[in-house]
Amino acid sequence: MIILKLGGSVITDKNSLTAKLDFDNLNRIAVEISNYLKSYDSKLIIIHGAGSFGHPPAKKYKIGEKFNLSNYQKKRIGFSQTQLAVKTLNSQVLNVLIKNNIPAVSIQTSSILTTNNKRIDSFNIDLVNKYLDEGYVPVLYGDVAIDKSLKMAVVSGDQIITYLGKYLNPDKIILASDVDGVYNKNPKTNSDAKLFKCLSSLKDLEQFDSTTNIDVTGGMIGKIRELLELSKEGVDSFVINANTKNNIFNILNDDEVNGTLITNKCNK
Ligand code: IPE
């Protein structure tokens, strides 16, 4: 079984302050996934990020921050708007996947899990398994959730990976981003940034500043933190660049791809 996360920076224009799909990228990636599934009958879960659909409303309404209950109605509207925004993106993603002959089914994250202090607390994984057993490709996504202590929170697609990675024992986890992997510094702002072939600790990343300022789930550091957490459980993952043509097909197909392996056993 494979878990593939399509970052919001890959399928949307993440620098846009309004929702903007990157249709060409999404469609090319869907073709690559479809070509892989034509040859291999493997189980696949796709998780996608929120990009410019989910981050702006989540930031505007400060979803996940403590608030005064006198503001609850305003916060509920913010929750609803964010949920609608990511659901809209999800419908567009599903539309492209299904057009490319991928039997994708949408699983609304905020309808299947709850959190406690921003961490997943309950999750109906059974349903995900049933869809997998019937040959579907379940698609989950970064979303909002009812939170036991904060009333509401944001759940990143990366946290969903960590959770499913722990409980479903996947053969491969792929995080498709818009850079070649994990660097010691932000490669978008530092030309001397160095790419890690293998990463096992956050210590090497001290100089890293977040990729965008609209990101409410911690940018690249937030993603790596989730994957490092998973590596402690003995589950490895790859960070690759989905903007490079055929990278998604090649990594699914077990071919060599430039990127970063996140594991607790790098050979130093
Ligand atoms: C964020 O999900 C969810 C919301 C903002 C509602 P992700 O953290 O997985 O999204 P990307 O990949 O950074 O865009």
What one-letter code names the amino acid at 133?
D
* pLDDT given for residue 206 in this prediction: 62
What one-letter code names the amino acid at 265?
K
Mean pLDDT of the chain: 93
Q: Which of 110, 156, 161, 215 to mutate to test the pocket of ligand 1 (most atoms within 8 A of CB)?
A: 156
Question: What's the rounded mean pLDDT across residues 228-255?
Answer: 94
Query: Which residue ranges are tagged as binding site for substrate?
Result: 50, 55, 157
State the angle between helix axes of 157-168 and 125-133 in degrees (0 to 180), rounded to the nearest 10.
Answer: 70
* pLDDT given for residue 220 in this prediction: 79
* 1-15, 123-137, 166-180, 188-202: segment of lowest average pLDDT: 188-202
CATH number 3.20.20.140 given to 2-182+195-202+216-262 = no
Please check the confidence at residue 171 and state whether its pLDDT lies above 60.
yes
Nearest-atom number in ligand 1 for the CA of 14 is 14
Does the beta carbon of 51 lie inside 6 Å of ligand 1?
Answer: yes
- 3-state percent helix, strand, coil for the chain, nearest multiple of 5: 40, 20, 35
Q: How confident is the model at residue 245 (pLDDT cuts 50, 70, 90)?
A: very high
CA 63, CA 189: separation in Å to the nearest integer?
28
CA 181, CA 179: separation in Å to the nearest integer?
6
Does the beta carbon of 142 lie inside 6 Å of ligand 1?
Answer: yes
> What are the boundaries of each domain within the chain?
2-182+195-202+216-262
Q: Which of 47, 84, 217 to mutate to test the pocket of ligand 1 (most atoms within 8 A of CB)?
A: 217
* pLDDT given for residue 212 in this prediction: 52
Cα 62 to averaged position of ligand 1 atoms, centre (Å): 14
Q: What one-character DSSP code corresponds to residue 174?
A: E
- Concatenated DSSP letters for 100-150? TT--EEE--HHHHEEEETTEEEEE-HHHHHHHHHTT-EEEEE-EEEEETTT
The Cβ of residue 151 has, within 10 Å, a number of other Cβ atoms equal to 16
pTM, entire model: 0.94
Does the beta carbon of 58 lie inside 6 Å of ligand 1?
Answer: yes
Query: Tens digit of pLDDT for each residue in 3-57?
Result: 999 999 999 998 888 999 999 999 999 999 999 999 888 999 999 999 999 999 9
Please check the confidence at residue 138 and state whether its pLDDT lies above 70.
yes
To which residue do tokens 């469609």 refer? 27
Nearest-atom number in ligand 1 for the CA of 219 is 13
* pLDDT given for residue 186 in this prediction: 81
CB 185 within 8 A of CB 192: yes
Nearest-atom number in ligand 1 for the CA of 63 is 6
95 Cβ contact list (under 8 Å, min separation 6):
none
Please check the confidence at residue 210 and state whether its pLDDT lies above 60.
no
Instruction: Write the residue with the smallest CA distance to atom 12 of ligand 1.
Output: 49
CA 34, CA 111: separation in Å to the nearest integer?
27
116 Cβ contact list (under 8 Å, min separation 6):
147, 148, 149
CA 97, CA 109: separation in Å to the nearest integer?
18
Query: Tens digit of pLDDT for each residue in 110-131?
Result: 999 999 999 999 999 999 999 9
Query: Which residue ranges are tagged as binding site?
Result: 5-9, 50-51, 55, 157, 178, 183-188, 219, 223
Q: Which of 55, 82, 227 to mutate to test the pocket of ligand 1 (most atoms within 8 A of CB)?
A: 55
Given strand 259-262, what is the order of strands in its sheet?
A: 104-106, 137-141, 44-48, 2-6, 172-177, 237-241, 259-262, 198-199
